Structure 1
Amino acid sequence: MLRWAVPAFLVVQAGVLGLAWWAGSGLLLALAELAALTGFACLVLLAQYLLLRGRYTREREATRRAVERRRVADEVHDLVGHELSLIAMQAGLLELRADAADAKLAGQLRAQAEHAVASLHETVALLHGTAPDEPVTDDVEDLVARARQAGARVTLHGDVDRVAVPTRLAVHTVVREGLTNAARHAPGSPVAVVLSTSAGTHGDVVEARVATSDAPAPTAGAGRAGHGLDALRRRVTALGGHLDARHHDGTHVLTARILAQPSGDPLRSAEPVELAGARPLRALVRQTAVPVVVACAVVLGFWTWASHDTTAEPEVLARFAVGLPTAELDALVPQRQAPVRLARSPEPPPGSTCRAWTDGNFPLAAATVEVCADDHAVTRVTDLAGEPLW
């Protein structure tokens, strides 16, 4: 639209000048020029708004897709990654217990499972995961039982009865993340899962604690574990809870504290859709606020200067007449003459001096009346609105 704005403006300008030339009216020229400039400014603002609205729509859709892609990536990490870790653990136990031929096959199976886990982590890291919101198909007891069948040394203490579904989902995810990290980084180490409920300031609080003994200290290269914890922390925080992961004296402890009846939405991603830019109307206001304020200040400043001590009130203009004594005229008129004239006045009468004043018209405060007088009285009063421009 903007590419047509300048040609359209030039055409309008040509029409304005032609109309003013035909009419010979400065007032008509000023009004037409003001209308043309206003229309051009509105056209530019409309084009800019449409441009910003299109950009905002594209950014919003791209952000929504990115959030959904990261959410699905975390879902794959939590579900598939946990199963692959259990497969790798079972293959490792089989490798230790089987004879030479079976042990070699089990070793290959374990290596392939570990490679699959590593590839999965790289893929999820590339997609930059967010908080998952997948449904839970089994409870914590089943989760622990499956880990034991895979060879993990897991003990379970406590339960989480009479809690809201969001809290149960989050507790299940915390335990699963702790067991998955234990199977990956400390296979065969004792793992204690402790679930408890206590009274808090805003209601009952559920605590899920996964402690892995004989666990190696986290290193800078264990990026995916930290990434998974970041996603889990966002999920817990969305429910008004707190997640803490610490390593002390060879024991890695993952602890989550969540309200039993949280106010968060469990079926939504914990990461909201954030846009890089502001809404189109707000962005347009921000972009045009300074130019509009400056333009208004310039117009008001010019009008104030042009009308100050040059404006004749209506009752004064009504007293201008031929024969009015010059001394009385000097007592009535403002001190300054109007600096803007949009009309060509006739030649002054012989021996007379002509002066022009304005009625304060906005925004130019153009001269509207001219009074000619000699040393004794007014000789001519001219309404400049009816005079030609040239």
Structure 2
Amino acid sequence: MRTHPVLRWAVPAFLVVQAGVLGLAWWADSGLLLALAEVAALTGFGCLLLLAQYLLLRGRYTREREAARRAAERRRVADEVHDLVGHELSLIAMQAGLLELRADGADAELAGQLRAQAERAVASLHDTVALLHGTAPDEPVTDDIEALVARARRAGARVTLHGNLDRYGDLDSDRALDRDAEPAAGPPAGRVAVPARLAVHAVVREGLTNAARHAPGSTVAVVLSTSVGADGDVVEARVATSGAPPPDAPGAAGPAAGPPAGRDGGHGLDALHRRVAALGGRLDVRHDDETHVLTARIPAQPVGDPLGSVEPVEVAGARPLRALVRQTAVPVVVACTAVLAFWTWASHDTTAEPEVLTRFAVGLPAGELDALVPERQAPVRLARSPEPPPGSTCRAYTDGNFPLAAASVEVCADGQAVTRVTDLAAEPLW
């Protein structure tokens, strides 16, 4: 069990205080002073223990939070590798598959080997990402969607691009897809912030990557548009893959099929969901009539932080103060309840009120004394009382002092009258 450095000097300090308390009680010859000083010393030592435990919890919480932050950073790097390298490997596999179909003999065999190696590289990449997956990726190296589409076309993909982000257009992308034409052009749109452009680039890239892996040879339509929303301009990116297999179907067959569907485990879409949500947008994925549609709507001027993790860095344990309260709440409540219960028992029917104490005097008739004193004697005595007078019986009562309700006065009587009244607070302890 770990201990905090505070305890290294707290324990010796407590022993020194204890010695001082005993010395003070010896010098003052007062049991009540000893009890009060002992309660104060124990309270102070308990506070030191609580402080040490709090510092331990705070240190552990800080270490766990730093570890969570580093893990989130590693996962961000993994998502970046998934987005960039995975896209490139998928294009290589598709190009090798096309070359295998068109070539003959040794060239076709070599192209097949290249495609198989690319597929294995993609699978290994996904396994690696699965180990480190968790948060949104950092920024891609470019937001040029036209160049992204052009590279996919050169790799053999059947991709069409409709609209752009710099003019207001018709957001009815279904109509644009059906007509295979540009959305209706409008006036120039407001400036689309770089984070929104980069997120749109990531959406298009993910859609093209999934189409190349799961539905090679299908027609892919990319529709971009900007509209005026209730809270400002909104950009929409839609990637529709016609002839795509349903999400639960096995990978498309054929020489250029790529890795089996589902090998990714959804890491790319999960990261994309968080990336879009961090900018205040929404990402929808649906599969209708053999058409897989990926749609993102993002504010043109997002208020989120695209560079940070969209998942808060959290640790499994509670915050240190909350954890300390949880750990000490039950013991403290039990201790306080026990002290209150003992004081209630010790002071019940044993406490003499101040006006009663002033009436205790030598010579007070025994009948009057019996009418004044409580029913019970105080169960706790911290002082050594002197020998009782001959023929007298002594009884001790408390003034209700907390927390012990120790006896504070002793009254002796011989059956006829009070023979002695002793203030026990002034009597020696030994």
Superposition TM-score, scaled by structure 2 size: 0.82
1:224 is paired with a residue of what secondary structure? Answer: coil
8 Å Cα contact 1:5-1:43 kept in structure 2: no
Larger deviation, residues 116-125 vs 255-264: 255-264
8 Å Cα contact 1:90-1:150 kept in structure 2: yes
8 Å Cα contact 1:5-1:44 kept in structure 2: no
Deviation of 1:20 after TM superposition, in Å, equals 8.4
Q: Name the structure 2 match of 1:216.
A: 245
Distance (Å, rounded) in 1 between the aligned partners of 2:134 and 2:340: 55
Name the amino acid aligned to 1:207. Answer: E
Q: Name the structure 2 match of 1:345.
A: 385
1:322-333 residue pairs with structure 2 within 5 A? 322-333=362-373
Larger deviation, residues 73-82 vs 112-121: 112-121
Q: Name the structure 2 match of 1:314.
A: 354
2:237 is paired with a residue of what secondary structure? Answer: strand
Q: Name the structure 1 match of 2:131.
A: 126
8 Å Cα contact 1:5-1:40 kept in structure 2: no
Q: Structure 1 residue 103 and structure 2 residue 108: aligned?
A: yes
Deviation of 1:146 after TM superposition, in Å, equals 1.7
8 Å Cα contact 2:140-2:202 kept in structure 1: no
List alignment gaps of at least 5 residues for structure 2.
Answer: 167-190, 250-260
The count of corresponding residues between Structure 1 and Structure 2 is: 390
RMSD over aligned Cα atoms: 2.7
Identical pairs, percent: 81
Q: Name the structure 1 match of 2:57.
A: 52
Distance (Å, rounded) in 2 between the aligned partners of 1:20 and 1:204: 79
Distance (Å, rounded) in 1 between the aligned partners of 2:369 and 2:231: 83
1:30-109 residue pairs with structure 2 within 5 A? 30-109=35-114
Deviation of 1:382 after TM superposition, in Å, equals 0.4
Distance (Å, rounded) in 2 between the aligned partners of 1:341 and 1:129: 66
1:1-390 residue pairs with structure 2 within 5 A? 1=3, 15=19, 19=23, 22=26, 25-161=30-166, 162-219=191-248, 222-390=262-430
1:85-144 per-position Cα deviation (integer Å, ceiling 9, x unaligned): 122222222333334343333333222222221211111112124211224413222211
Name the amino acid aligned to 1:384. Answer: L
Are the structure 2 counterparts of residues 101 and 237 from structure 1 closer, same or farther at C-alpha, using a change threshold of 3 Å? Answer: same
Are the structure 2 counterparts of residues 225 and 147 from structure 1 closer, same or farther at C-alpha, using a change threshold of 3 Å? Answer: farther
Name the amino acid aligned to 1:55. Answer: R
Deviation of 1:344 after TM superposition, in Å, equals 2.2
Name the amino acid aligned to 2:362. Answer: V
Larger deviation, residues 258-267 vs 182-191: 258-267
Distance (Å, rounded) in 2 between the aligned partners of 1:73 and 1:292: 47
Are the structure 2 counterparts of residues 383 and 227 from structure 1 closer, same or farther at C-alpha, using a change threshold of 3 Å? Answer: same
Deviation of 1:154 after TM superposition, in Å, equals 0.6
List alignment gaps of at least 5 residues for structure 1.
Answer: none
Name the amino acid aligned to 2:323. Answer: A
1:275 is paired with a residue of what secondary structure? Answer: coil
Distance (Å, rounded) in 2 between the aligned partners of 1:304 and 1:326: 28
1:135-190 per-position Cα deviation (integer Å, ceiling 9, x unaligned): 44132222112211222111111222332332222111111000011111112211
Deviation of 1:17 after TM superposition, in Å, equals 9.2
Distance (Å, rounded) in 2 between the aligned partners of 1:317 and 1:305: 21
Name the amino acid aligned to 2:94. Answer: M
8 Å Cα contact 2:18-2:38 kept in structure 1: no
Distance (Å, rounded) in 2 between the aligned partners of 1:225 and 1:18: 71
Deviation of 1:19 after TM superposition, in Å, equals 4.3
Deviation of 1:318 after TM superposition, in Å, equals 2.6
1:294-344 per-position Cα deviation (integer Å, ceiling 9, x unaligned): 211221222222223322233332332212233333343333322211122
Distance (Å, rounded) in 1 between the aligned partners of 2:263 and 2:154: 28
1:188-244 per-position Cα deviation (integer Å, ceiling 9, x unaligned): 211011123344444443221111112122238614151211111111222222222
8 Å Cα contact 2:240-2:293 kept in structure 1: yes
Name the amino acid aligned to 1:213. Answer: S
Are the structure 2 counterparts of residues 9 and 306 from structure 1 closer, same or farther at C-alpha, using a change threshold of 3 Å? Answer: farther
Are the structure 2 counterparts of residues 10 and 271 from structure 1 closer, same or farther at C-alpha, using a change threshold of 3 Å? Answer: closer
Deviation of 1:385 after TM superposition, in Å, equals 1.4
Deviation of 1:7 after TM superposition, in Å, equals 7.4
Distance (Å, rounded) in 1 between the aligned partners of 2:299 and 2:99: 41
Distance (Å, rounded) in 1 between the aligned partners of 2:11 and 2:52: 15
Distance (Å, rounded) in 1 between the aligned partners of 2:26 and 2:308: 69
Name the amino acid aligned to 2:423. Answer: D
